Structure 1
């Protein structure tokens, strides 16, 4: 299982940097995205996380309180966590 750890600040630059790594990992077996220490999420990062979840049902996102709250406010809880909230 591959684990990708997100930085504390997930802005557009972070999303652009992580896009190739997440894209490659999502197609090569189980993937865990560790966002436990992440405090800020840009729209670009949320789009990347949604894409990762939709492209591979086995992707698990380990969420910080900030991500849980952002997902709740934006209506993305079921898409991002879909029964695999950690």
Structure 2
């Protein structure tokens, strides 16, 4: 399982920087995403995380409180965390 750690600020620039790493991880099993240090999450990162969950072998996201709150506010809790003990 490939592991990726997200930065504290997960804005569009962070999503663009992480995209190649996530694409490279395709085909090597489920992706493990450590988002416990995230304090600020933007729309682009939410889209990238949902894509990671739905692509290839999927992804397991370990969220911060901030990511849980944003997921709840945007109605994306199931898309990001369903079927996973997060």
TM-score, scaled to structure 2: 0.92
Contact 1:26–1:52 (CA<8 Å) still a contact in 2? no
Give the match for residue 74 of structure 1: 74
Structure 2 residues not aligned, in runs of 5+:
none
Give the match for residue 83 of structure 1: 83
RMSD (CA atoms):
1.2
Q: State the secondary structure of the residue aligned to 1:79.
A: helix
Contact 1:39–1:67 (CA<8 Å) still a contact in 2? yes
* In structure 1, distance between residues paired with 2:58 and 2:37: 21
* In structure 1, distance between residues paired with 2:79 and 2:37: 20
Contact 2:11–2:40 (CA<8 Å) still a contact in 1? yes
Contact 1:30–1:59 (CA<8 Å) still a contact in 2? yes
* Offset at residue 65 of structure 1 (A): 0.3
* Offset at residue 58 of structure 1 (A): 3.7
* Offset at residue 57 of structure 1 (A): 4.7
TM-score, scaled to structure 1: 0.92
